[in-house]
Amino acid sequence: MTQLSEVHLFTDGGCSGNPGPGGWAFLLRHPVTGKQLEKSGGERETTNNRMELTAVIEGLAALKKSARVELFTDSVYVGKGMSEWMPKWKANGWRRKEGKRLVPVKNEELWQQLDTLLQQHEVRYTRVAGHSGHPENERVDELAVAAYQKYL
């Protein structure tokens, strides 16, 4: 069995207004070699949650082979979605309970993309407090803000 390489993925997404112009960013780091990759992008009209999800999807999609990934994000939505909510949503045909009925999951296509990527990698979620001076979180926040500013 081959040993999976370990990588750190730092992500952030945000909007100016919610919905509004949004940006996402990731920083991927191989802790052994120190090699890094940063990428960001934006959309004219989106939501914070869509941008948070997009950052994780883009970061995982940038990996060329399966890896053990430690995901650092300040998004409770992404973290809880991955670790707690997604298995129930999948079991219910990508629906969630609202009162006594099942309704479609918001951002379903993004959650499905993330689900596909999670099958390829071993992902561990670590919550980072936003705007707390965490250097990599500050960096991806800066990149995400710069990405949506072109739409303002």
Catalytic residue among 52, 79, 81, 136: 52
Question: Is 6 designated active site?
Answer: no
Sheet holding 122-127, edge to edge: 36-46, 20-29, 5-15, 67-73, 122-127
Q: Which of 6, 17, 131, 142 is catalytic?
A: 131
Question: Among this protein's residues, is 20 annotated catalytic?
Answer: no
17 counts as catalytic: no
Helix then strand then coil, in percent of the chain rounded to 5, is 40, 35, 25
Taking only Cα atoms into account, the Rg of the chain, rounded to an integer number of angstroms, comes to 16
Catalytic position from the list 13, 14, 41, 42: 13
φ and ψ of 6, to 5 deg: -95, 130
Known catalytic residue at 115: no
Strand ranges (E), 47-121: 67-73, 95-98, 101-104
> Which of 43, 58, 74, 136 is an active site residue?
74
Number of neighbours of residue 55 by Cβ within 10 angstroms? 32
> How far is CA 132 from its chain centroid?
19
Query: Which residues participate in catalysis according to the annotation?
Result: 12-13, 52, 74, 131, 141
